[in-house]
C-alpha cells in the first residue's frame, strides 16, 4: 500500500483558496439574473416559466456547476493525498455531504462551509473521547452523533447558517437600486380598436371534467375585462390556457395574431402577456426586490459565466432599477428589502402584480388580486389598474368582490361550469337573470 502523504501547509492553502474562490463565484452567480432564476426553481417551475425562464436549462446548469465543483474537490483530494481510495466517493460519503448541507443550511453558500466544519469536528471529537467515557463501544458514537444532529435541527430547522445570521444584532444593509437607469419599453397601439387577445372556442378537459367548454371572448387594447363566475367555473383554467401553463384540448387562442393555444409559457410571456397566480407563487426566502426582478428576466441577457465574473453589473443595475420602479408603482417601497414570505398574503399578491409589471406587459392577467386586501388597499389597486389601462395596457382579471369588479371593469365575461353564460357591460351583467341565478344571487 502506498504511504498517504500528510497534508502540507501549501496544500492546505491551495484547498482554502479553492473553497473561497468557489464560494465567491457561487455567491456572484446566485446574486444575478441567472441566480434568481435558479433560486426561483425552489418554488416550482410554473412561476419561473411564466416569466420566461427556461427551467430545464437552469436545472442542467445547476447540475453541471455542482459536478464541476465536485470534480475540483476530487482532484484536489487525489492530488494532495497522492493516492485515491473509494471512501470519499461512496454512498456513505454521499449521505454525509447531504448532512453537511442540511446542518449548515441548504441554499446558503457559507452554510456549506459551516456545516462541513460542524459535522467533521463533531465526528472527530466523538471518535476521540467517547471510547474513554464508555469503554470502547463503537456504536455509541453513531447514536450520540445522531442525537446531536437532531437537537441541532430542532434548534435551527433551516440550518445553522441562517440561524446564526438571524441572531446578529445588525442586518447588513443592501444598496438600494439607482432608478435612473432605464430599460426599453414596448410599442403600444394608440387606440382601443385592436384586438389583443382572441379566445375562440377554447376547450379544456381533465379526464371526465370539462373545465372550459368552448369559451370565446376578446380583450381589446386599453380595456379592463373581468372574468367572473362561481368557484370551479373554469376561470383559473382559462388563465392557464392563455398563458401556456396548460395545453388546450381544442379551440384557438391568439395574442396579437400569434397562435398560443399550444405554446409554452416562455413564448407567451415574450408576446407581452404577464400574470399573477390565484395561489401566490413567490420565493419566500428572497426579498421583494429579488422576487420582482424575476419579472424582468427576459429584459436582461447576462448568462451564468458573466454573472460569476461580475461582468453583468450594467445589465443587472437596469433590471433592479426596473424592479424598484414597479415596486414603487404598487406602493410597496417600504417593504422592498423584506423577505417576501414575511409579508401579509394581500401584500404578496401586490408583489406578484409588481413582478408581472416588470414584463412591461401588453396584457396583464390577474387571478383574484383583491383577495385579502383591505378596503383602502382595494381602492388603491383599482386606481393603479385604471392608470395602467390609460397608459395603454389591457387587464383581464378574475375577482369575487363584485363592488370592485362592477366599478372597474369595462366589460364582464361570466362563466358557469366551464361555459360562458353572459358577456357585457357591468350594468347589463347586473341585470342579467342567468347571471343572477348562477352567481350573483338575489341580493345583487
Ligand atoms: P375557478 O378558477 O373558476 O374557481 P378552476 O379553473 O380552478 O376554477 O377549475 C375548474 C374545474 O376544473 C374545477 O372543477 C376543477 O376541479 C377542475 N380542475 C382544475 N385544474 C385541474 C387539474 N389540473 N386537474 C383536474 N381538474 C382540474
Ligand atoms: Mg380560480
For residue 187, the model assigns a pLDDT of 77
**Spatial CA neighbour of 324 closest among 178, 184, 186, 185:** 178
The conformational region for residue 135 under phi > 0 = left, psi -120 to 50 = alpha, else beta, is left
Residue showing cell 427551467: 55
Does the structural domain 195-440 have CATH classification 3.40.50.300?
A: yes
Q: What angle do CA 17, 22, 23 make, to 5 degrees?
A: 100
418 contacts 404 by C-beta, under 8 angstroms: no
Q: How far apart are CA 129 and CA 247, in angstroms?
A: 62
**Is 209's C-beta closer than 6 angstroms to any atom of ligand 1?**
yes
For residue 287, the model assigns a pLDDT of 94
Distance 204 CA to ligand 1 centre (A): 10
Those residues with Cβ within 8 angstroms of residue 340's Cβ, 6 or more apart along the chain or in another chain: 282, 283, 284, 285, 286, 287, 288, 291, 348, 351
60: cell is 442542467
Q: Show me where the domains of the chain are located.
A: 9-166, 195-440
Beta-carbon neighbours within 5 Å of ion ligand 2: 235-236, 278
pLDDT along the chain (444 residues), means of 10: 62 90 96 95 92 96 95 88 80 87 91 93 85 70 83 90 84 72 77 85 93 95 94 95 94 93 94 95 94 96 94 93 94 93 94 96 95 92 94 94 94 94 93 87 55
Q: Which of 211, 226, 399 most suits a substitution to test ligand 1, by most atoms within 8 Å of the C-beta? A: 211
315: cell is 445589465
Q: How far apart are CA 237 and CA 161, in angstroms?
A: 41
For residue 128, the model assigns a pLDDT of 83
**Spatial CA neighbour of 295 closest among 24, 40, 104:** 40
155 contacts 167 by C-beta, under 8 angstroms: no
Q: Radius of gyration of the chain from Cα atoms? A: 27
3-state class (DSSP) for residue 7: coil
Q: How far apart are CA 273 and CA 104, in angstroms?
A: 40
Amino acid at each position: 500500500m502506498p504511504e498517504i502523504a500528510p497534508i502540507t501547509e501549501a496544500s492546505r492553502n491551495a484547498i482554502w483558496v479553492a473553497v473561497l474562490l468557489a464560494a465567491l463565484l457561487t455567491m456572484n452567480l446566485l446574486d444575478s439574473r441567472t441566480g434568481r432564476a435558479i433560486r426561483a426553481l425552489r418554488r416550482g417551475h410554473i412561476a419561473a416559466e411564466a416569466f420566461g425562464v427556461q427551467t430545464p436549462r437552469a436545472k442542467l446548469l445547476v447540475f453541471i456547476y455542482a459536478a464541476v465543483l465536485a470534480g475540483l474537490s476530487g482532484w484536489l483530494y487525489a492530488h494532495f493525498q497522492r493516492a485515491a481510495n473509494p471512501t470519499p466517493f461512496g454512498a456513505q460519503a454521499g449521505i454525509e455531504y447531504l448532512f453537511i448541507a442540511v446542518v449548515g443550511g441548504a441554499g446558503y453558500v457559507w452554510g456549506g462551509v459551516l456545516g462541513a466544519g460542524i459535522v467533521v469536528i463533531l465526528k472527530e471529537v466523538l471518535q476521540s473521547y467517547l471510547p474513554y467515557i464508555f469503554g470502547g463501544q463503537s456504536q455509541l458514537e453513531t447514536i450520540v452523533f445522531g442525537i446531536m444532529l437532531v437537537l441541532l435541527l430542532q434548534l435551527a430547522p433551516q440550518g445553522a447558517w441562517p440561524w446564526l445570521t438571524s441572531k446578529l444584532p445588525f442586518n447588513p444593509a443592501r444598496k438600494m437600486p439607482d432608478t435612473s437607469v432605464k430599460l426599453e419599453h414596448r410599442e403600444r397601439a394608440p387606440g382601443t380598436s385592436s384586438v389583443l387577445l382572441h379566445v375562440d372556442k377554447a376547450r379544456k378537459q381533465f379526464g371526465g371534467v370539462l373545465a372550459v367548454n368552448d369559451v370565446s371572448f376578446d380583450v381589446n387594447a386599453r380595456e379592463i375585462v373581468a372574468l367572473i363566475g362561481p368557484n370551479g367555473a373554469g376561470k383559473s383554467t382559462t388563465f392557464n390556457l392563455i398563458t401556456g401553463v396548460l395545453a388546450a384540448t381544442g379551440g384557438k387562442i391568439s395574442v396579437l395574431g400569434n397562435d398560443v393555444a399550444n405554446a409554452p409559457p416562455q413564448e407567451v410571456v415574450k408576446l407581452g402577456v404577464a400574470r399573477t397566480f390565484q395561489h401566490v407563487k413567490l420565493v419566500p426566502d428572497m426579498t421583494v426586490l429579488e422576487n420582482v426582478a424575476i419579472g424582468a428576466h427576459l429584459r436582461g441577457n447576462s448568462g451564468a459565466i458573466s454573472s460569476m465574473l461580475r461582468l453583468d453589473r450594467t445589465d443587472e443595475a437596469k433590471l433592479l432599477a426596473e424592479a424598484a420602479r414597479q415596486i414603487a408603482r404598487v406602493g410597496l417601497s417600504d417593504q422592498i428589502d423584506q423577505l417576501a414570505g414575511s409579508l401579509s398574503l394581500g401584500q404578496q399578491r401586490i408583489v406578484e402584480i409588481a413582478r408581472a409589471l416588470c414584463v412591461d406587459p401588453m396584457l396583464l392577467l390577474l387571478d383574484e388580486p383583491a383577495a385579502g386586501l383591505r378596503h383602502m388597499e382595494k381602492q388603491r389597486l383599482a386606481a393603479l389598474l385604471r392608470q395602467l389601462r390609460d397608459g395603454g395596457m389591457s387587464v383581464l382579471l378574475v375577482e369575487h368582490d363584485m363592488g370592485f369588479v362592477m366599478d372597474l371593469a369595462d366589460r364582464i365575461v361570466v362563466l358557469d361550469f366551464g361555459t360562458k353564460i353572459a358577456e357585457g357591460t357591468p350594468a347589463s351583467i347586473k341585470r342579467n337573470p342567468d347571471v343572477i341565478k348562477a352567481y350573483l344571487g338575489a341580493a345583487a
